[in-house]
Structure 1
Amino acid sequence: MITKMNHVSIFVLNQESAYDFYVNRLGFKVHTDASMGPGMRWLTVCPPEQPGLEISLMAINEGMMFKEDAAEQMRALVSKSTFGFGVFECNDLLATYEELKAKGVEFTKKPTKEFYGFEALFKDDSGNWFSLGEKAK
């Protein structure tokens, strides 16, 4: 029986830029930052209150996972915000929205009450988009 998930990948266009975005703007903690050979890097981050979930900031490079044409197609999809999605939670959406906006995070939807909850949408520096929500109290 599967008991939990501990790693998930987000494809990024540039790992250095993604490092800056996830660590310095979103406030995530670096879990692992290791060279995996020439031109390869294993970079994982986690939300401060969820250290058991490592988010791998996976560069889209030709190699083990992608052939050259597939890597080009994947970079195009990510950069057009047509690939990549996740849902993050926070305790105070309005305060978190203002904090992240001040740090340069691009929001595509302001905090809005929806039938399913209170949510804002933002994009990372590669074009992946995320929902940021506040659970009902």
Structure 2
Amino acid sequence: MITNPKFVVLYVSDQQTVLDFCTRKLGFEVRTDASYGDGQRWIEVSVPSAETYLVLAEGDPRVRDLVLQRLGELSHVWFDCDDLDATFDELTARGVRFPVEPRAAPWDPEGRTRWAQFADPEGTLYGLTERGA
């Protein structure tokens, strides 16, 4: 029986830059940082309490280009937080850029869900919602 998503792979151009962003700006923990193969690194990061990790995969630029061509800059990775406004203020103070500031979600006609969107140094976009919304 499947119990939990293990990890989500993000294709990045510069693993170290995105790793620094995840740990220094977002407060993520490094779960694995191992060298393998011909000078490659396998990097897993996560929110301290999470069971699902993000893998920062740096590989063939053609793969990243294809992903960007098909999906655009949106990573399709969303995070929960307990307080959207407080998290927005905290991350903004750390220098995280928010192309979409906290607002009502257009997909929730009852107006209970609020969301925001932030970007990493490579311009990849991530969604952020309040827990339980």
| TM-score interval, normalised by the smaller of the two chains | 0.7 to 0.9
Query: Which aligned runs of 4 or more in structure 1 are off by greater than 4 angstroms?
Result: none
2:37 paired with 1:37: yes
- CA distance in structure 1 between the partners assigned to 2:88 and 2:65 by the alignment: 32
Q: Equivalent residue of 1:84, what SS?
A: strand
- CA distance in structure 2 between the partners assigned to 1:102 and 1:12 by the alignment: 24
Alignment of 1:91-110 (within 5 A): 91-110=82-101
Q: Equivalent residue of 1:3, what SS?
A: coil
> How far is 1:45 from its partner?
0.3
CA RMSD of aligned residues (A): 2.3
Question: Structure 2 length normalisation: TM-score?
Answer: 0.84
Alignment of 1:1-137 (within 5 A): 1-50=1-50, 52-59=51-58, 61-62=59-60, 70-71=62-63, 73-74=65-66, 77=68, 81-115=72-106, 116=108, 117-136=113-132
> How far is 1:81 from its partner?
4.8
Count of aligned residue pairs for this structure pair:
127
Question: Structure 1 length normalisation: TM-score?
Answer: 0.81
In structure 2, runs of 5+ residues without a counterpart are none
> How far is 1:72 from its partner?
6.6
Residue in 2 that maps onto 1:65: none
Q: Summarize deviations over 1:9-45 as a string: whole Å, max 9, x none.
A: 1111101101110000000000000101332000000
- CA distance in structure 1 between the partners assigned to 2:2 and 2:132 by the alignment: 28
- CA distance in structure 1 between the partners assigned to 2:132 and 2:63 by the alignment: 40
- Greater shift, 92-101 or 119-128, is seen at 119-128
